[in-house]
Amino acid sequence: MIVVEGLTKMYGSLKAVDALSFSVSRGEVIGLIGPNGAGKTSTLKCMVGIQAPTSGSVRIDGRDIVTDAVEAKRRLAFMPDEPQLFEYLTVREHLNLVARLYGVADYAGRVPRLLEELELSGKESALPGELSRGMKQKLAIACGLLHDPPVLLFDEPLTGLDPLGIRRMKQTIVDRARAGAAVVVSSHLLHLVEEICTRILIIHRGTKIADGSLEELAARSDLSAAGSDLEQIFLRATGQAETDRAS
């Protein structure tokens, strides 16, 4: 469903993403983790068409994000860490706009269910300025889920959510994957990744340093000393990468 091949992103002379390749199948939830400045957000931005890759390609359901951008974007939703909303549109108007952009003919029936699922019922006429940080995040996610995309990309999806919201959000992500969506979750919350992701991709300085299920990573000879704890695996993998780099 998602195929990333040799993705490279340069900012001037800085190489943020370096020949990154991976794929995500239907029903898979992949956790994209890495230290600050590893290139996670740049990777996500290139995958959703916000930034153009310097080289390499990203295909969403077989559509190239650069050469067939409109069709590729119809099939995905990106939920950024900081919700970007129009401060002058109400909750319902945001969903109305998204419905038109994605051509969701039956949106009137979907909206109440979605608002209920994301605990936004009763807030239909509220402006973003009247919503809490967590509610804004939920609205951004509702906008992303409205057209029921087969590809979902989340950047720190739990930021600002209360405990109940966190539990519901994790369930939402898992449910969508079970329904056949390919999901990418970028997060520093390793327990979240460990809990909901079927595969983990660790990147460091723009390159892939580990890719596989938690069991597969734990079984790798260079990471075996870390046991099956993702935090230890992460620290060992990124520390090892630094050592390799120094030598």
Partner 1 sequence: MTHAFLYLTACSLKNRLWRRLRRLREPRYLAGLVVGLLYLYWFVVRNQMRAPRRGRTDLTWLTSFAPDIVVGGAVLLWVVAVLVWLWPFATRTWTFTAAEVQFFFTAPLTRRQLLNYKLLRSQVGLLFSVLIASLFTGAARAAVAGRWSLLLGGWLLFAAIFLHVLGANLTKSSFRAPASRVPWLAWASATLMIVVSGLLCGTYLVHARALVSRPLNDAIFGIVELGRVGAAPFALWPFRAVLAPIFAETPLAFARALGPALVVLVLNYVWVLWSDANLEDAASAAEQRQAQGRSAPAPVVRPAPFSLAARGRVETAILWKNTILLGRYVSLRLVVRVSIPVVVMAVVFGLNSKGGSLAPLLLMLTVFATVVGPFMIRNDLRHDLQRLAVLKTWPISGRELLLGELLAPTFLLSAIVWFLLAVTLALSPAWKDGPIDAVGRAALLVSVGLLAPMLIAGQVIIQNAAVVLFPGWIATGGARARGIEAMGQNMLMFAGTLLALAIGVLPASAIAGGLGYVLYLFLGWPGLLPATMLLASILVVEAGLVVMWLGRVLERTDPAQVEIAE
Query: Is residue 102 a contact point for partner 1 (CB under 8 A)?
Result: yes
Query: Is residue 133 a contact point for partner 1 (CB under 8 A)?
Result: no
Q: What is the dihedral of CA 199, 151, 49, 113, to 10 degrees?
A: -130
Query: Is residue 122 a contact point for partner 1 (CB under 8 A)?
Result: no
State which residue, 151 or 202, has the beta carbon closest to partner 1. 151
Q: Pairing mode, if any, of strands 76-79 and 151-155?
A: parallel
State which residue, 11 or 167, has the beta carbon closest to partner 1. 11
Query: Is residue 164 a contact point for partner 1 (CB under 8 A)?
Result: no
Least separation in angstroms between residue 105's CB and partner 1 is 5
Residue keyed to tokens 């319902």: 92
* β partners of residue 80: none
Least separation in angstroms between residue 50's CB and partner 1 is 5
DSSP states of 31-60 as a string? EEE-STTSSHHHHHHHHHTSS--SEEEEEE
Least separation in angstroms between residue 75's CB and partner 1 is 8
Out of 28, 61, 93, 211, which residue is the one contacting partner 1 (CB under 8 A)?
A: 93
Out of 21, 25, 62, 101, which residue is the one contacting partner 1 (CB under 8 A)?
A: 101
Q: Roughly how many angstroms between the first and final C-alpha of the chain, as a whole number?
A: 38
- Cα angle 22, 36, 241 (rounded to 5 degrees) comes to 65
Give the integer Cα–Cα distance in Å for 22 and 170: 23
Strand order in the sheet with 29-33: 76-79, 151-155, 182-186, 29-33, 199-204, 207-212
Q: Which of residues 2-61 bind partner 1 (CB under 8 A)?
A: 11, 45, 48-52
With CB under 8 A as the contact rule, which of the stretches 122-130, 168-176, 185-193, 215-223 interacts with partner 1?
122-130
Q: Are 137 and 159 in contact (CB under 8 A)?
A: yes
Out of 6, 23, 62, 100, which residue is the one contacting partner 1 (CB under 8 A)?
A: 100
Out of 13, 36, 103, 245, which residue is the one contacting partner 1 (CB under 8 A)?
A: 103
- Contact set with partner 1 (CB under 8 A): 11, 45, 48-52, 69-74, 76-78, 80, 84, 86-90, 93, 96-97, 99-108, 125, 127, 129
